[in-house]
Each structure stands twice: as structure tokens, then as C-alpha cells.
Amino acid sequence: MTDIEAGTDALPHHSRRLLTGYFAGLGIVMAVWGARIPAVQISADVNTPGLALVLLSAALGMVAGLRAGGRLARPARLPALLTGGAVGLGAGLAALGFCDSLESLLVVAFVFGAAHGVLDVAANASAVRCQDAHGRPIMAGLHASYSLGALAGAALAAATTSTSHTALFAVVGAVAATAAGAATRLTRRAAAPGLRREPRRHTGGLDGHGRLSRSRVWLLGLLAAATLLGEGAAADWAAVHLRDLGATAATGAAAYAAYSAAMAAGRLAGDRLTARYGAPAVVRTGAALAALGLATGLAASTIASALLGWAAFGLGLSVTIPSLITAAGIGGPRAVATVAVTGYVGLLAGPALIGALASATTLPHALLLPALLAATVAALAPKTLETPAP
């Protein structure tokens, strides 16, 4: 084997390590931001409706970034989008710490969200190409690094409660931006493995021009929205559900921790399971487990069963989003962006929808919606994720 050939074979592994860093860094930054939002609200003297506008601005920025990233993402541009998105995200976090008015928060939150969207598309599009170069599933492991990064970011925020959010945002943002900038050359080199090997070809679900059909892309997006609605429900309502059952504040907080830890564990094992059994079977079984686990936890109405139910829900859905992104990757970065945008609609709208349903009925009844949607994913995913014969 020549030196050039050896270097080519090593590229996917370099790319995987770098992408692991990007996914983990994104998780850390978003967790630090989320954990310190109350401090930002107090510092800028923003009331609850104003904070809602800030979060909406960040969400709109993210949608804009996802759409822009989908249009701009081409193989040769992915390194620049990865670096630019990560630097923008870090700089945006640092700038959020210095905002002292609603107006400044609205502007910076939009930029922060846009950088998040660009980085999300670039990282997932690069991950699809890296997975093709590896010739085996690696997507779940990369998404696991995001989950683990988020847990680390939450722990960091909890451990530095005596530190001002301005200082914390500045340090974390500067580290993220500096690391991405310093890795620019490595990113350019390692983001190319998909160019060195012929990606897998599929025919099913493609239109007459060889592109992933619009109907398949939208179905993937709807399944992503159903899945991420459940993630939003876990983030915003799991602790409330436990408190309604009489749990202490600490035990209530443990519900989302159990969900997150189970999801991270499932993603760490997800690539091996997908390689052995195939994405359709793994997603179908996992989504069925999620639906049954959450429904059982809601029906039993005990603290222990609720904790187990949320853990089963996280474990069951852990491989769904990585598998949907992989399937969308056949259609290129624009298809990945479409699935991501549609999925985030579910993430953003889910908690409010469940709140409205809970007001009309009860919270346990409202939380049956994520369980029903998980059952729908179990029913539809096998056909949607089916790998056609080339």
C-alpha cells in the first residue's frame, strides 16, 4: 500500500474523531446556554413574555440557519460551514452573556440560532459522508457524543453556579470558537472522505432524476417531528409529571436525567445493533419499546414506574433520529436540512401542544401523545427506512 493510499484509508477515522468533537461541542454549548437562561433573564431584566420572544428569535434563527446550510452545503463547502458554524456558535454564546436589554438579546439570539442551524446541517451532512466512507453505521455514535456533551455541559453549568453567566459564556464560547478555528486545516483535510470512496447507491425512493423523492423526504421529516416532539416533552414535562406524583424536586429532575442517560446509552450501542439487524428493525423495535414504556409508566402512576417509563422512552427513541438523518443523506445536504427543519418544528411545538392538552384534560393523558407518536414511528419507519436493492 502506498503512502497516499494509507492516508486515504486513514481519512475517515480522522473525520470521525473531528466530527465527534463537533457534535460534543454543540451539546456542551447548548446545555450551558439552556441551563443559564434564567440568569440571562434576570441580568437583562426581561419578563416572561420577553424571554419567550428571545427563545422564539433563537428558534427562527435556527430555522434560517438550517435552510441556508441546506442550500449552501456542497462537499467542497462542508469544511467552511463546519468551522464557520462552530466559530459563530461560540462567539454567539459569548455575546449573549453581555446582552443587557431585550433588543440586544433578540438580535444576538437570532445569530446564535442561525449558527446552530448551519453547524447542525454541516455536521450531519458530513457525518453521512463519513459513514459512507466507513462502510458501516457510525451515525448513532456521533449523536451519542452530542448527548454526552449535553450532559457534560449541564454538569459544568451546575458546578459553576457561583460564577456569573457572563464569565461562563465567555470562557465556553471562546474555547469552542478557538478550537474550531485552530482545527480549520484538519477539518478541510478530514471532511473529504466521502470524495475518496464511491458512496452507496440506492434506487428506491428516488425520483426520475435520481434524487430522493419529495414524498420520501417529507415522510422522513414527519417521523423526525414525531420523535423530537417526544424529546421536547421529556425536556419540559418529565419533571412536572414526577412532581405531580409527589416526587421531590431532585427526584423530578432525575426523570429527564434518566431519559437522557438512557438515550446516550442507546446511541452508544446503536451502531452495532444497526449493523447487525438493520435500521428498519432497530428503529421499529426501539420505537415500540418507547411507546410501551412511556404508556406503562403513565398508567401505573407511581414514581418508580414513571422513572422507568421515561428511561425506556429515551432508550427506545435513541437510534431514530440518527437513522432518519442517514436515510435523508441519500438526497444530499438539502434533504438533510429539510428533515432537520421539519423535525425541529416538532421539538419546538411539542411542549406547548402538550401543555394545551393537559389544560383540557390531565397531564398523564396529554403525555400519551408522545407514546402514540412513538407507536406511529414504529409502524411507519420500517418501510420508510427500507434500503432498496441497488
- pLDDT-derived band at 92, boundaries 50, 70, 90: very high
H/E stretch holding 340: helix 333-360
- The tens digit of pLDDT for each residue in 309-328 reads 999 999 999 999 999 999 99
CA 184/CA 282 separation, integer angstroms = 36
Q: Which residue has the higher pLDDT, 286 or 78?
A: 286
Contact 195, 76 (CB under 8 A): no
- Output the pLDDT for position 130: 87
Q: Where is average pLDDT lowest: 112-126, 165-179, 338-352? A: 338-352
pLDDT for 388 beyond 90: no
pLDDT for 177 beyond 70: yes
- The tens digit of pLDDT for each residue in 356-367 reads 999 999 999 999
First CA to last CA distance, the chain? 30
Name the one residue in this structure whose C-alpha cell is 424571554. 51
Q: How far is CA 14 from CA 6, 190, 192, 210, 300, in A?
A: 12, 6, 10, 30, 48
CA 354/CA 266 separation, integer angstroms = 25
- Output the pLDDT for position 18: 87
Which residues have a Cβ under 8 Å from the Cβ of 348 and sit 6 or more positions away? 59, 232
Q: Rounded to a whole number, what is the largest CA-CA distance in the chain? A: 68
Mean pLDDT of 244-271: 89
pLDDT for 349 beyond 90: no
* 189's grid cell: 483535510
Q: Where is average pLDDT lowest: 15-29, 77-91, 200-214, 271-285? A: 200-214
Nearest to 339 by CA among 34, 130, 69: 69
* 204's grid cell: 428506491
Bridge partners (DSSP) of residue 212 are 206
Q: Which residue has the higher pLDDT, 278 or 133?
A: 278
Burial class (CB in 10 A: 0-12, 13-18, 19+), 264: buried
- Output the pLDDT for position 201: 43
